């Protein structure tokens, strides 16, 4: 992992969802440093079987436990790379600038890669009757 500049709203090139390849978005990782694949919100939700429909721009959603908001998705926690690129911060040790940097990233993938072109033309039916 290359280093990251918290003052810039940019992600290192290898800050990438291991499942769908999404970049430039917030990523989550299981809370066991270094062992686990990076996941975007969508993929983390899929793996954890959690509905993240209400996730907001800060990457927070309604907590699974009582009231309040959380930036956890099941066992997946925000993955904040260290500035020197050596690894990731433990969740509780993440410096404020790191949290800020993560918060400013897009929460979810907006543009998904289009599936391979299928050469079937859609025949639109114009004969709609009302
Ligand atoms: Zn993903």
Q: How far is the CA of 43 from the centre of ligand 1 (A)?
A: 4
pLDDT score of 116: 63
Q: State mean pLDDT over 38-46.
A: 96
Q: How far is the CA of 108 from the centre of ligand 1 (A)?
A: 9
pLDDT score of 37: 92
CA–CA distance, 44 with 29 (Å, rounded to integer): 8
pLDDT score of 41: 97
pTM above 0.85, yes or no: no
Q: How far is the CA of 117 from the centre of ligand 1 (A)?
A: 21
Q: Reply yes or no on whether the pLDDT at 102 is more than 90.
A: yes
Q: Reply yes or no on whether the pLDDT at 49 is more than 90.
A: yes
Q: Helix, strand, coil % (nearest 5) of the chain? A: 15, 15, 70
Mean pLDDT computed over every residue of the chain: 86
Lowest mean pLDDT among 22-26, 78-82, 98-102, 114-118: 114-118
Measured in degrees and rounded to the nearest 5, phi and psi for residue 61 equal: -140, 170
Q: Reply yes or no on whether the pLDDT at 95 is more than 70.
A: yes
pLDDT score of 34: 59
């Amino acid at each position: 992992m290359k280093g990251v500049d918290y003052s810039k709203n940019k992600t290192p090139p290898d800050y990438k969802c291991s499942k769908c390849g999404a970049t430039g978005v917030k990523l989550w990782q299981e809370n066991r440093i270094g062992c686990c694949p990076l996941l975007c919100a969508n993929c983390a939700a899929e793996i954890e079987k959690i509905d993240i429909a209400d996730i907001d721009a800060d990457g927070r959603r309604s907590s699974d436990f009582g009231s309040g908001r959380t930036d956890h998705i099941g066992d997946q926690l925000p993955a904040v790379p260290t500035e020197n690129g050596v690894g990731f911060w433990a969740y509780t040790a993440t410096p404020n600038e790191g949290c800020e940097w993560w918060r400013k990233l897009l929460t979810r993938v907006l543009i998904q890669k289009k599936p391979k072109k299928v050469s079937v033309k859609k025949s639109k039916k114009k004969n709609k009757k009302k």
